[in-house]
């Protein structure tokens, strides 16, 4: 994590984990019991609560007393902190080409990949959040590829589809977009070869055949005239249609299919839908920032 004066030392990985959880679930206040169980569930209750009080003290010392609010049994952020997870969700919800492109750039890997907390409640929450954010990222990549294909940019669409398939090679919609992009780029033979690869992959991994939309797409490719355009897969707008009219809603589709394992996840899911105040900063100073999705490091 970084602040206006450089790297901020929070005094331990569980203090960082506490801040990450509060940021991801802001503005919802969290009970002391939940936070103590999250990070010190294997300790006796009295010791867990003492550790929580010490972690809150360290956060206030590092970030300023105004940053963390306590009210009886509840703890929350009193002022927003700039965070890439929140930015990522906001961009995907915005849904236009520039926003989706930026969201894809932000997503570099698993949430808090280098922060290991050996507590069951923490592991459950992090695993669930990682799955949710991955589904959101995949949907953003597919939506961006659809928009690029619709606007005559097959190479860019191909790159986005490939990025999605690196994360999850069983996303058949991403395979269809790759096939379409290859055809639009004049690489029909490669497109048909990729379809054969997809057939083998689905049979080997899932024991199923390609779905009807994929079969229809490939049938159109094999029967189309050399100079004719192939209809994009179902849900993909036709070339020339403005990106603003693309019906894809990556957030709606992602959240409809994401796995939600912990109740704390609900607040994070709805976070970007709520009006956000500007990141807090004392007069004359920039706001602190925390990077949670940017793969390996915690930076601003």
First CA to last CA distance, the chain: 6
pLDDT of res. 285: 34
Q: Which of 88-92's residues contact partners 24+ apart within 8 Å by CB, and which partners?
A: 88/133, 88/136, 88/137, 88/293, 89/136, 89/251, 89/271, 89/272, 90/272, 90/276, 91/140, 92/136, 92/137, 92/139, 92/140, 92/250, 92/251, 92/254
pLDDT of res. 95: 95
Do 143 and 179 meet the contact criterion of CB atoms below 8 Å apart?
no
Higher pLDDT, 243 or 255: 255
CA distances to 74, 117, 143 from 129, in Å? 22, 15, 21
The strand pair at 2-3 and 82-83 is best described as unpaired
What is the per-residue pLDDT across 49-67, written as a single tens digit (0 to 9) for each? 999 999 999 999 988 888 9
- The rounded Cα 58 to chain-centroid distance in angstroms is 29
- In this structure, what token pair is assigned to residue 293? 């999705």
Q: Which of these ranges, 80-94, 221-235, 240-254, has the smallest mean pLDDT?
A: 240-254
What is the per-residue pLDDT across 94-115, written as a single tens digit (0 to 9) for each? 999 999 999 999 998 899 998 9
What is the mean predicted confidence (pLDDT) over 70-76?
95
Highest-confidence range of 207-211, 225-229, 243-247, 281-285, by mean pLDDT? 207-211
What is the per-residue pLDDT across 80-89, written as a single tens digit (0 to 9) for each? 788 999 999 9
Q: How far apart, in whole angstroms, are the C-alpha atoms of residue 254 and residue 72?
A: 36
Closest CA to 9 of 284, 294, 293, 288: 288
What is the mean predicted confidence (pLDDT) over 112-141?
95
Top-tier CATH class for 1-130+271-300 = mainly alpha
Task: Assign 232 a pLDDT band (cuts: 50, 70, 90).
Answer: low
Q: How far apart, in whole angstroms, are the C-alpha atoms of residue 182 and residue 297?
A: 35
Higher pLDDT, 291 or 205: 205
What is the per-residue pLDDT across 143-165, written as a single tens digit (0 to 9) for each? 999 999 999 999 999 999 999 99
Closest CA to 145 of 158, 132, 163, 135: 158
Please state the three-class secondary structure of 235-282 as a single string: CCCCCCCCHHHCCCCHHHHHHHHCCCCCCCHHHHHHHHHCCCCCCCCC
pLDDT of res. 299: 30
What is the mean predicted confidence (pLDDT) over 233-238?
47
- Whether cis (ω within 30° of 0) applies to the bond prior to 27 is yes
Q: How far apart, in whole angstroms, are the C-alpha atoms of residue 181 and residue 162?
A: 11
Domain boundaries, the chain: 1-130+271-300
pLDDT of res. 205: 97
What is the per-residue pLDDT across 275-291, written as a single tens digit (0 to 9) for each? 333 333 333 333 344 55
pLDDT of res. 116: 93
When the pLDDT of each residue in the chain is averaged and rounded to a whole number, the result is 80
Task: Assign 1 a pLDDT band (cuts: 50, 70, 90).
Answer: low
């Amino acid at each position: 994590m970084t602040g206006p004066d450089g790297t901020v030392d929070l005094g331990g990985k569980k203090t960082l984990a506490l801040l990450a959880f509060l940021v991801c679930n802001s503005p919802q206040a969290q009970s002391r019991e939940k936070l103590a169980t999250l990070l010190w569930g294997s300790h006796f209750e009295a010791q867990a609560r003492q550790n929580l009080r010490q972690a809150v003290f360290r956060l206030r010392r590092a970030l300023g007393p105004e940053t963390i609010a306590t009210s009886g049994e509840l703890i929350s952020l009193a002022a927003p902190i700039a965070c890439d997870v929140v930015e990522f969700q906001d961009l995907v919800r915005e849904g236009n080409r520039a926003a989706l492109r930026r969201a894809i750039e932000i997503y570099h890997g698993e949430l808090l990949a280098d922060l290991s907390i050996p507590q069951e409640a923490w592991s459950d929450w992090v695993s669930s959040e990682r799955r949710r954010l991955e589904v959101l990222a995949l949907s953003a990549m597919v939506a961006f590829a659809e928009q690029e294909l619709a606007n005559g940019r097959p190479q860019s669409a191909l790159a986005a589809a490939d990025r999605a398939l690196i994360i999850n090679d069983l996303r058949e919609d991403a395979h269809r977009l790759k096939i379409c992009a290859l055809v639009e780029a004049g690489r029909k033979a490669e497109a048909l070869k990729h379809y054969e690869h997809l057939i083998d992959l689905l049979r080997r991994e899932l024991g199923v055949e390609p779905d009807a939309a994929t079969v229809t797409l490939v049938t159109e490719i094999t029967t189309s005239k050399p100079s004719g355009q192939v209809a994009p897969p179902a849900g993909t707008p036709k070339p020339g249609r403005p990106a603003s009219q693309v019906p894809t809603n990556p957030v709606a589709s992602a959240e409809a299919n994401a796995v939600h394992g912990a109740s704390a996840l609900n607040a994070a899911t709805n976070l970007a839908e709520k009006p956000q105040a500007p990141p807090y900063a004392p007069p004359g100073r920039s706001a602190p920032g925390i990077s949670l999705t940017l793969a390996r490091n915690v930076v601003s």
